[in-house]
C-alpha cells in the first residue's frame, strides 16, 4: 500500500508491483475515490526514479569549491562524523541558534517530514523555520472569513453548475481534482478561469478572465459590489449566518465597478456578468488555487474572494461554496502527538524560509547562521532572491548538510550530502491538502544501496551529537503506532490500516455551511468590516518603478515537474527540455523581440537569459516564466528566481514571487 509523497493536493494511492525484490511498476489504486486508477505524468514511471543512474546511493563529502559539485563517496560513519562535527562547531562558536533547519514538503509524509527531525532540532535548540512558502497568505486570508472549518468536499464538486478556478491550473497541478471538475462539466457545469496566463486549464474554460497579477482583490470586490447593487445577495442567509452584513454597503462604497475594473484591467461588463452567474447558476463553486497569492495584498484578496460564495448564498447548495486547502480535514490528523516539547532547549528565534537569502548573508544577524541542515527542499532553486541565497550557500564559514535523492542545486553547495530513501523504501502516513483522505505508505522494497530514511538519518545525527533522550531513538513503527493510537474518531484507523486510506469525517456532510457553523469565534462567516477588501500589490502597483520596469514577471508551475522535482527525470525533462518565457505580441513588438529570440529578463535584483515565446497566452504587461528547471538549465546558472523578492506579506508572512517588476531586452535574434 503506497501513497504518493509529493507536494500535490491529490495525494494518490498506489500499490507497488515487486519482482525478485525489485520494484517494477506503480499501480494506481482504482478503489481510491480521488486517485481513480491513474497516476499523473510526473509520477507514472516512478520506478525509473528509484533506480535512476543519477540517484545518490552513498554519502558524499565535498572535495571542491562550494557549488562546483565535486564530492567523494564516504561511509555513513565518516559522513555523519563530519556532519555532526560541523554542527557542533557552529554551536560552540555561536550557540545553538546558529543551526538552521530548512525543510519543506519534498515528501509530505509525517514520519519523513518533521516527526523525528523536529525532535532533534528541538533537542539541539536550533533556530526555528517559519514554513510559509506555499499557501499561507491564502490560508490566512480565507481563515479570517471562515476560520478552520470544512470547505466543499471535492467529491461534491460534480454537483456544481458553475465552477470558478481562481488562480488555479488543476489540469497541470492537480489532475485528479481536475477529473472531478470535468465530471461537473459533463453534468453541464460552466467553467470559468481567472488567471493572467492562458494556462492549460484556462485554454479549455468557457470563460477566461485575465486580471493583472496581484489585483484579484479588486476583481472580487467588484463582484461583491455587483451582488449588492443588483439585489443578488442572499440576504436571508447572510443575515442569519454572517457577521458584518449591515456594514457591507458602506464598506463597498468605494469599490464601484468601474474603479475595480480599472484596478484589475478586466472589463466591467465581464465582472458584472460573472457576478450574476455566480449568484444565479447555483450551485456555484469557487475553487482557489495557490497561484493568486504571490503578492503583497494576497491575504486580503483571498478573504475578499472567500466572501463571494457567502454573499451569493452558494453554501446553501450541495456542491456550492468555497474550496481551497481543506484545513479542517487536513488538521484532523493530529501530528502534534509526535512532538516532544520537553526536548526544547530555550525559546529559539524563528527565521522565515522565504528570507533564506537574508538569513545567510545579513552581517547583523546575531548569531549568524553557521550550520544549515536541509531536507525535503531545494532552496537554491525555489527560494526567492536566488543571488542572495547562492551567495549565502557559498560562504566558507557555513556548514551545510543536505539530505537528498539527487545532487540538486542545493546539494551541490553542501559540505556533506546524505542519501535518503524514496517512498517505496520507507514507512509513512500522509494527510492531503486537496481532499479528505489520510493515506498509509508501507515500504515495498529494501532501500537501494546506502540510502536511509530521513528519520533514521536524524536519529543517527542526534546520537553523534551526544543527545541521549529515548524520544530521539523512537523507530518509525513506534511513531506511527503512537500517532494512530491517539487519533480522534474522525479518522477510522482500523480502515486506514486495512485498506490503506480512510476518509476524515468531521460530520461536515454534503452542505457543510448551509446552516452556518463556521470555525470562527462567532461560529458565523465573518465579513470583517474592520478589514479592507482590496490591498494592492507592492511592486506591481508601484507606478514610479513601473516607468523603469514596465512588465510583471510571474512564475507558475510546469506540467511535468513538481517545483524543481522531476526536472532531472529522463522522460519529464525530455518533454520540457529548455526553459522559455512567454511575452505578449504587443510587448514583444515594442522591444523588437520575435518568437524564439534569446532575451535577458532583468530587474534590480538580478537577471536571467532564456528563449522567448511570443504569444497572447501571456497577457499584455506580464512575462510568464514557468519555473522548476535546475539552475544549470539557464545561461550563467541564474533562473527566474534571481529576480523574485524576499518581501513577505504582512498577514501570513508569505512570499511574493509574482509581485515582481522586470524589463525584457533582446540578447540575440533567433537562430533556431
Ligand atoms: N505539475 C505540477 N503540479 C504541481 C506543482 C508543480 O510544480 N507542477 N506544484 C505543486 C505545488 S507545491 C503547489 S503549491 C500547487 C500549485 O498549484 P497552482 O495554484 O495551480 O499553481 P501555479 O501554477 O503556481 O498557479 C496557478 C495559476 O495562477 C496564475 N497566477 C499567477 N499570478 C496570479 C494572480 O495574481 N492572480 C491570478 N488570478 N492568477 C495568478 C498562474 O498564471 C497559474 O496559471 O501545485 C502542486 N502541483
Ligand atoms: N518563483 C517561484 N518560486 C516558488 C514558487 C513559485 O510559484 N514561484 N512556488 C513555491 C511553492 S508553492 C513551493 S511548495 C516551494 C517548493 O519548494 P521545495 O519544497 O523545495 O520543492 P522541490 O523543488 O520540489 O524540492 C523538494 C526536494 O525534496 C527532495 N525530497 C523528496 N522526498 C524526499 C525525502 O524523502 N527525503 C529527502 N531528504 N529529500 C526528499 C526532492 O528530491 C527535491 O529536491 O517552492 C516555492 N517557490
Ligand atoms: S497527481 Fe499528485 S499525488 Fe497523484 S501521482 Fe501525481 S504528483 Fe502524486
Ligand atoms: Mo506549494
Domains with residue ranges and CATH for the chain: 55-133+335-429+447-489 (3.40.50.740), 137-324 (3.40.228.10), 543-668 (2.40.40.20)
**What is each CA distance from 472 to 79, 85, 89, 468, 669, in whole angstroms?**
20, 19, 21, 7, 59
Neighbours of ion ligand 4 (CB under 5 A): 134
Q: How far is the CA of 239 from the centre of ligand 2 (A)?
A: 44
Nearest protein Cα to ligand 3, atom 6: 40
Query: Could you tell me how far CA 661 lies from the centroid of its own chain?
Result: 22
Which ligand is the nearest neighbour of the Cα of 537?
Answer: 1
Sign for the pseudo-dihedral over CA of 450, 452, 458, 459? negative
pLDDT tens readout for residues 513-534: 999 999 999 999 999 989 999 9
Q: Which one-letter DSSP state was computed for residue 201?
A: H
For residue 454 the three cell numbers come to 530521513
Which ligand is the nearest neighbour of the Cα of 627?
Answer: 2
Q: What is the 3-state secondary structure (H, E, C) of 499-568?
A: HCEEECCCCCCCCCCCCCCCCCCCCCEECCCCCCCCCCCCCCCCHHHHHHCCEEEECCCCCCCECCECCC
CA separation for the pair 380, 532 (Å, rounded): 36
Note the pLDDT of residue 345.
81
Q: How far is the CA of 7 from the centre of ligand 4 (A)?
A: 7
Q: Is 10 in the pocket of ligand 3 (CB under 6 A)?
A: yes
Give yes or no for a contact between 662 and 553, defined as CB atoms under 8 angstroms apart: yes
CA separation for the pair 651, 641 (Å, rounded): 23
Give yes or no for a contact between 513 and 525, defined as CB atoms under 8 angstroms apart: yes
Residue 231 C-beta-side C-alpha neighbours within 13 Å: 0
Residue 5 Cα: closest atom of ligand 3:
8
Q: Which residues line the pocket of ligand 1, CB cutoff 6 A?
A: 7-8, 42, 134-135, 166-169, 172-173, 194-197, 199, 211, 213-214, 216, 289-292, 294-295, 554, 556-559, 561-563, 628, 658
pTM reported for the whole predicted model? 0.98
The pairing of beta strand 416-419 with beta strand 60-62: antiparallel
Residue 564 Cα: closest atom of ligand 2:
23
Note the pLDDT of residue 130.
98
For residue 219 the three cell numbers come to 476583481
pLDDT < 70 regions, the chain: 671-672
Residue 134 Cα: closest atom of ligand 2:
12
Q: Which of 402, 419, 501 lies closest to 453 in space, CA to CA?
A: 419
Which residue matches cell numbers 555513513? 76
CB-based burial label for 341 (10 Å; 0-12, 13-18, 19+): exposed
Element (H, E) at 590: helix 585-590
Note the pLDDT of residue 517.
95
- The dihedrals phi and psi of 162, each to the nearest 5 degrees, come to -135, 130
Q: How far is the CA of 201 from the centre of ligand 3 (A)?
A: 17
Q: What is the 3-state secondary structure (H, E, C) of 224-266?
A: HHHHHHCCCCCHHHHHHHEECCCCHHHHCCCCCHHHHHHHHCC
Which of 14, 40, 175, 177 to mutate for ligand 3's pocket (most ligand atoms within 8 Å of CB)? 40
CA separation for the pair 348, 341 (Å, rounded): 13
Residue 291 Cα: closest atom of ligand 2:
7
Strand-pair partners of 370: none
10 Å Cβ neighbour count for 672? Answer: 8
Which residue matches cell numbers 524520544? 471
Note the pLDDT of residue 672.
54
Amino acid at each position: 500500500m503506497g501513497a504518493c509523497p509529493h507536494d500535490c493536493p491529490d495525494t494518490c494511492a498506489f500499490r507497488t508491483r515487486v519482482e525478485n525484490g525489485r520494484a517494477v511498476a506503480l499501480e494506481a489504486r482504482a478503489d481510491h475515490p480521488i486517485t481513480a486508477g491513474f497516476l499523473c505524468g510526473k509520477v507514472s514511471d516512478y520506478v525509473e526514479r528509484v533506480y535512476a543512474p543519477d540517484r545518490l546511493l552513498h554519502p558524499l563529502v565535498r572535495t571542491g569549491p562550494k557549488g562546483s559539485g565535486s564530492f567523494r563517496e564516504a561511509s555513513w560513519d565518516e559522513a555523519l562524523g563530519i556532519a555532526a562535527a560541523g554542527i557542533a562547531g557552529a554551536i560552540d562558536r555561536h550557540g545553538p541558534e546558529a543551526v538552521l533547519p530548512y525543510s519543506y514538503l519534498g515528501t509530505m509524509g509525517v514520519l519523513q517530514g518533521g516527526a523525528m527531525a523536529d525532535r532533534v532540532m528541538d533537542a539541539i535548540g536550533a533556530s526555528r523555520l517559519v514554513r510559509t512558502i506555499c499557501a499561507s497568505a491564502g490560508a490566512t486570508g480565507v481563515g479570517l472569513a471562515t476560520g478552520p472549518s470544512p470547505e466543499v468536499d471535492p467529491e461534491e464538486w460534480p454537483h456544481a453548475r458553475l465552477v470558478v478556478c481562481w488562480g488555479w491550473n488543476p489540469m497541470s497541478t492537480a489532475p485528479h481534482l481536475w477529473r472531478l471538475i470535468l465530471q461537473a462539466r459533463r453534468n453541464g457545469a460552466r467553467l470559468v478561469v481567472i488567471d493572467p496566463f492562458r494556462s492549460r486549464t484556462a485554454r479549455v474554460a468557457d470563460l477566461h478572465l485575465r486580471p493583472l497579477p496581484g489585483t484579484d482583490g479588486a476583481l472580487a470586490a467588484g463582484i461583491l459590489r455587483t451582488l449588492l447593487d443588483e439585489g443578488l445577495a442572499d440576504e436571508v442567509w447572510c443575515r442569519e449566518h454572517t457577521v458584518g452584513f449591515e456594514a457591507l454597503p458602506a464598506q463597498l462604497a468605494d469599490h464601484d465597478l468601474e474603479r475595480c475594473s480599472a484596478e484589475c484591467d478586466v472589463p466591467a461588463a465581464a465582472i458584472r456578468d460573472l457576478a450574476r452567474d455566480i449568484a444565479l447558476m447555483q450551485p456555484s463553486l469557487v475553487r482557489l488555487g495557490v497561484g493568486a497569492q504571490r503578492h503583497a495584498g494576497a491575504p486580503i484578496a483571498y478573504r475578499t474572494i472567500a466572501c463571494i460564495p457567502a454573499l451569493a448564498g452558494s453554501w446553501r447548495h450541495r456542491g456550492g461554496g468555497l474550496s481551497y486547502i481543506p484545513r479542517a480535514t487536513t488538521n484532523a490528523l493530529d501530528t502534534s502527538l509526535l512532538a516532544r516539547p520537553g526536548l526544547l532547549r530555550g525559546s529559539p528565534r524563528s527565521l522565515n524560509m522565504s528570507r533564506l537569502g537574508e538569513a545567510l548573508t545579513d552581517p547583523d544577524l546575531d548569531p549568524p547562521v553557521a550550520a544549515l541542515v536541509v531536507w525535503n527542499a531545494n532552496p537554491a532553486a525555489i527560494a526567492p532572491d536566488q543571488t542572495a541565497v547562492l551567495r549565502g550557500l557559498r560562504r566558507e564559514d557555513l556548514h551545510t548538510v543536505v539530505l537528498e535523492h539527487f545532487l540538486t542545486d542545493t546539494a551541490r553547495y553542501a559540505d556533506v550530502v546524505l542519501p535518503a530513501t524514496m517512498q517505496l523504501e520507507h514507512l509513512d502516513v500522509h494527510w492531503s491538502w486537496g481532499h479528505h483522505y489520510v493515506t498509509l505508505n508501507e515500504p515495498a522494497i529494501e532501500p537501494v544501496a546506502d540510502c536511509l530514511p530521513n528519520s533514521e538519518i536524524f536519529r543517527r545525527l542526534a546520537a553523534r551529537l551526544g543527545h541521549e533522550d529515548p524520544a530521539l531513538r523512537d523507530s518509525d513503527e513506534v511513531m506511527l503506532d503512537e500517532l494512530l493510537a491517539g487519533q480522534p474518531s474522525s479518522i477510522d484507523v482500523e480502515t486506514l490500516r486495512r485498506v490503506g486510506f480512510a476518509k476524515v469525517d468531521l460530520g461536515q456532510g454534503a452542505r457543510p455551511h448551509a446552516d452556518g457553523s463556521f470555525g470562527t469565534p462567532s461560529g458565523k462567516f465573518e465579513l470583517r468590516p474592520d478589514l479592507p477588501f482590496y490591498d494592492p500589490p507592492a511592486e506591481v502597483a508601484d507606478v514610479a518603478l513601473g516607468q523603469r520596469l514596465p512588465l510583471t514577471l510571474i512564475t507558475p508551475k510546469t506540467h511535468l515537474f513538481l517545483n524543481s522535482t522531476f526536472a532531472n527525470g529522463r522522460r519529464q525533462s525530455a518533454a520540457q527540455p529548455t526553459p522559455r518565457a512567454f511575452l505578449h505580441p504587443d510587448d514583444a513588438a515594442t522591444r523588437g523581440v520575435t518568437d524564439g529570440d534569446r532575451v535577458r529578463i532583468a530587474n534590480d535584483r538580478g537577471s536571467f537569459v532564456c528563449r522567448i515565446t511570443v504569444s497572447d497566452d501571456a497577457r499584455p504587461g506580464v512575462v510568464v516564466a514557468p519555473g522548476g528547471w535546475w539552475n544549470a538549465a539557464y545561461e550563467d546558472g541564474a533562473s527566474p528566481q534571481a529576480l523574485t523578492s524576499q518581501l513577505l506579506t504582512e498577514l501570513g508572512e508569505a512570499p511574493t514571487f509574482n509581485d515582481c517588476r522586470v524589463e525584457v531586452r533582446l540578447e540575440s535574434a533567433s537562430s533556431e
